[in-house]
Amino acid sequence: MNARYAVRWAAEHGLPRLGFLALRGMGDPFARLMSGDEGYDDPYSLIDQLRGDGGVRVTRAGYAVFEYELCREILRDRRFGVRLPIDPSVPFPLRRYAERVVLPPNPIEPPSMFAQDPPEHGRMRKPVASAFTPRAVARLGDRVREVTAELLDAMAAHESVDLMADFAAQVPIAVIAEIMGFPAADRPLFLRWGSHVAPLLDVGISWQAHRRAMAATGAMRDYLAAHIEKLRREPGDDIFSLLVSTGDLNTTELLASANVLMGAGFETTMNLLGNAVPLLLSHSDQLDLLRAEPERWPLAIEEMLRFDTSVQMTARRVLEPVEFDGGVPLVPGKSLVVSLAGANRDPVKFPDPHRFDVTRTNAKEHLSFGTGMHGCIGASLTRLEILQALPALFERFPDIRLDGEPTRRRLSTLRGYSHMPVRLKSL
């Protein structure tokens, strides 16, 4: 099985990785952006270079767009799909063999809705969406407040903590456990598996990272399969039990949907919480305004999403010939990178886009959650969690500050931190 995974890695990541490394060495900004070894630290200056005068940019990996209106249009256009091809430059025999290798269930593989075009997308999304209706999310509000208070109480016993491990990751994983019916004791398993699976969203990851991801997805598959069988025998009152009991999805589809629920409800929240803290600490005037006028927090959270989005990019497949305003003709079968971070820093849409401003009136128009039929299914839950957790953190620890340099995750698609030492109290 490892040999088959190695073939899949070579086709999807190994050869593109070599290409990116070669281009990066020549200073190519797109290769630098896509390589988690460099673009993770400051992607926005690279995005400004790539945006240039606008329009579709031709890259080694296909096409890329960085303008707000063009990104929004493509995300809502059914001439683009989400089932991505293996790079056509990969030798045909390798590509054909790799396409037949089935990976363990994960958020970027069919039958996950993230990798399905209509009509299958709608069939998969509809039952999962029940976890994120306004009523379902509102019912989770009390649990979010309880978890936040428990975590803050535990942190208060220490002068310094790792904000990512002790707070930013713990809030969403507790809520996901509530949705999925997992025992609290199993949360560390999913935190570890999630950190290993996250690199699959990038292109050109190392064989070591891919091997860890495959081991994690395999372990998650086994755990979730046993959990699904248990819920069939003994359903609980959690949302996932309801999804299992309806019979709308088979076991394979339930496994894929569980991955979606965990991804949609965890990564964005964890990364946004982590990104927000140093952002606010480095803009003390904005933090002071929020403390003086706490009713501004909802709009401030939208500005945080715009300014430093957790999900930097997504991708689409060209399904039919497309040309925008006499620009580059897009060839069917090729991939197109949609830069959500680029859209959110487009000066045409957001004047002075590199300025963090919690009073920005159109901040909520960001594309951090995407748009259209593939818009983030967990957006309302993320907003609820952040609105509860972030103000409570700064209220409980008014003297909070960084206690060393935070460590960025070396990823291109998901932007966040792996470690963030903070001091909670003044000396």
Q: What is the CA radius of gyration of the chain?
A: 21
Q: What is the pLDDT of residues 279-328, one digit of tens each?
A: 999 999 999 999 999 999 999 999 999 999 999 999 999 999 999 877 88
Structure tokens at 56: 């579709």
Structure tokens at 291: 């403390």
Share of the chain above pLDDT 90, in %: 65
The domains found in the chain, sorted by start residue, are 2-423 (1.10.630.10)
Strand, helix or coil at 410? Answer: coil
Is the pLDDT at 52 greater than 70, yes or no?
Answer: yes
CA angle 275/41/408 to nearest 5° reads 50
Is the pLDDT at 164 greater than 60, yes or no?
Answer: yes
- Residues paired with residue 417 on neighbouring β-strands, in sequence order: 408
- CB-CB neighbours of 85 under 10 Å: 15
Task: For the chain, give the mean pLDDT.
Answer: 91
CA angle 280/286/287 to nearest 5° reads 55
Please provide the DSSP assignment of 88-128 as one string. TTS-HHHHHHHHTPPPPS-TTSTTSGGG--TTHHHHHHHHH
> 2 falls in which pLDDT band (50, 70, 90)?
confident
| DSSP helix, strand, coil percent of the chain (3-state; round to 5) | 55, 10, 35
Residues with Cβ < 8 Å from 410, sequence gap 6 or more? 36, 37, 40
Q: What is the pLDDT of residues 232-267, one digit of tens each?
A: 999 998 889 988 998 888 999 999 888 888 877 788
Least confident interval from 30-44, 45-59, 153-167:
30-44
Strand, helix or coil at 322? Answer: strand
Strand, helix or coil at 196? Answer: helix
Q: Which DSSP state fits 126?
A: H
Residues with Cβ < 8 Å from 412, sequence gap 6 or more? 33, 34, 35, 36, 39, 40, 43, 202, 203, 312, 313
Share of the chain above pLDDT 70, in %: 98
Average pLDDT over residues 33-59: 84
Structure-model confidence comparison of residues 352 and 178, the more confident one = 352
Is the pLDDT at 40 greater than 80, yes or no?
Answer: no
Is the pLDDT at 1 greater than 70, yes or no?
Answer: no
Please provide the DSSP assignment of 217-232 as one string. HHHHHHHHHHHHHHHH
> 89 falls in which pLDDT band (50, 70, 90)?
confident
Cα dihedral 263/47/40/11 (nearest 10) = 70
